[in-house]
């Protein structure tokens, strides 16, 4: 008889010349609800109160009797009595008496095992801490004498190279980058000289000189002025040699220069 609900609604809708979409639009419902009613799929609509509400509205739209449909739905919705044969029976008293002691025994073993594990772990950690070698300053101090020995064995450059030296005085009226090396390769001056300043140098001749702005630099060698004008290039740089007698000579060209 449950099939009669959907059949009667569908037949009444077709007699009213309505499609599912047209009927859903008139009722302001989702078409799936009307399809579920016509398919007797009432479980998809939720609680019985919602099913009866949709049945009433749909029946009134297509000219069916809501009360007749309610009677059919009530017959279909009757719940069968529960199967008492499948209800689980409680455990017998004897079984319950056996379960409790077993649970207590398991808990006792678990507690004892936990205590043993904690004591073993603590003893192991204590033994490890005692037996672990304490780091001392030996490892850190080992490289120190080696480093010192290397430093002591490194040759120390002579502060005063052997051989006769000349004294040179550089006077700057403008800033100029300056590089001066003596014949032993010792660097006498290297960097920017900010004017006004005077630099006094002493080294083994010949002195190799490079000036970044030679037009504002004057040089005296052993108290005598040294002429560098002919070595000044168009970009105001100059490179030359100062001999032992104070003469200014052309610097040898570098390889590939």
End position of a domain, from candidates 76, 92, 127: 76
- Identify whether 120 is part of a domain: no
- Identify whether 155 is part of a domain: no
The predicted model gives 175-196 an average pLDDT of 95
User: Which residue range(s) make up the domain with 186?
Assistant: 166-250
Place of tokens 């017959």: 75
- Identify whether 33 is part of a domain: yes
End position of a domain, from candidates 31, 61, 76: 76
Looking at the whole model, is its pTM more than 0.85?
no
**Structural domains counted in the chain:** 2
The reported pLDDT for the residue numbered 234 is 92
Residue 138: is it exposed, middle or buried by C-beta count within 10 angstroms (0-12/13-18/19+)? Answer: exposed
Q: What is the pLDDT of residues 24-43, one digit of tens each?
A: 999 999 999 999 999 999 99
- Identify whether 256 is part of a domain: no
d(CA 133, CA 126): 13
Contacts of 245 (CB under 8 A, 6+ apart): none
The reported pLDDT for the residue numbered 153 is 46
Longest dimension (CA), the chain: 138
Instruction: Confirm if 162 and 168 have CB atoms less than 8 A apart.
Output: no
HSE on the CB side for 151, CA within 13 Å? 6
155 three-state secondary structure:
coil
- Identify whether 223 is part of a domain: yes
Q: What is the pLDDT of residues 138-165, one digit of tens each?
A: 444 444 444 443 344 454 444 555 679 9
The reported pLDDT for the residue numbered 204 is 96
- Identify whether 89 is part of a domain: no
Which H or E run contains 209? strand 207-211
Contacts of 10 (CB under 8 A, 6+ apart): 38
The reported pLDDT for the residue numbered 252 is 87
d(CA 233, CA 210): 12
Q: Which of 39-43, 134-138, 198-202 has the lowest mean pLDDT?
A: 134-138
Helices (H) and strands (E) in the chain, counts: 8, 9
- Identify whether 45 is part of a domain: yes
State the DSSP string of 63-106. Answer: T--HHHHHHHHHHHTPPPPP-GGGSPPPPPHHHHHHHHHHHHHH
Contacts of 228 (CB under 8 A, 6+ apart): 211, 214, 217, 219, 238, 240, 248
Q: What is the pLDDT of residues 46-68, one digit of tens each?
A: 899 999 999 999 999 999 999 99
Q: Is the torsion defined by CA of 137, 138, 143, 149 positive or negative?
A: positive
End position of a domain, from candidates 76, 97, 124: 76
- Identify whether 146 is part of a domain: no
**CATH code of the domain containing 15:** 1.10.260.40
Q: What is the DSSP letter of 142?
A: T
Cα of first residue to Cα of last residue in the chain, in angstroms, is: 114
């Amino acid at each position: 008889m449950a099939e009669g609900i959907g059949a009667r609604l569908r037949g009444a809708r077709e007699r009213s010349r309505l499609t599912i979409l047209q009927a859903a639009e008139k009722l302001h419902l989702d078409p799936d609800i009307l399809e579920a009613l016509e398919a007797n799929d009432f479980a998809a609509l939720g609680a019985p109160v919602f099913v009866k509400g949709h049945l009433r509205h749909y029946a009134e739209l297509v000219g069916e009797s809501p009360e007749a449909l309610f009677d059919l739905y009530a017959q279909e919705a009757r719940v069968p009595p529960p199967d008492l044969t499948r209800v689980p029976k409680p455990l017998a008293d004897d079984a319950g008496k056996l379960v409790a002691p077993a649970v207590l025994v398991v808990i006792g073993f678990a507690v004892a095992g936990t205590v043993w594990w904690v004591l073993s772990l603590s003893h192991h950690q204590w033994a490890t801490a005692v037996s672990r070698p304490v780091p001392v300053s030996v490892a850190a101090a080992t490289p120190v004498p080696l480093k010192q020995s290397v430093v002591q064995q490194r040759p120390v450059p002579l502060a005063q190279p052997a051989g006769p030296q000349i004294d040179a005085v550089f006077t700057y009226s403008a800033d100029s980058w300056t590089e001066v090396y003596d014949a032993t390769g010792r660097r006498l001056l290297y960097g920017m000289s900010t004017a006004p300043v005077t630099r006094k140098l002493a080294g083994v001749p010949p002195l190799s000189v490079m000036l970044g702005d030679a037009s504002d630099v004057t040089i005296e060698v052993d108290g005598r002025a040294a002429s560098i004008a002919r070595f000044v290039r168009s970009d105001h740089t100059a490179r030359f040699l100062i001999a032992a007698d104070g003469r200014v000579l052309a610097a040898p060209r570098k390889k590939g220069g």
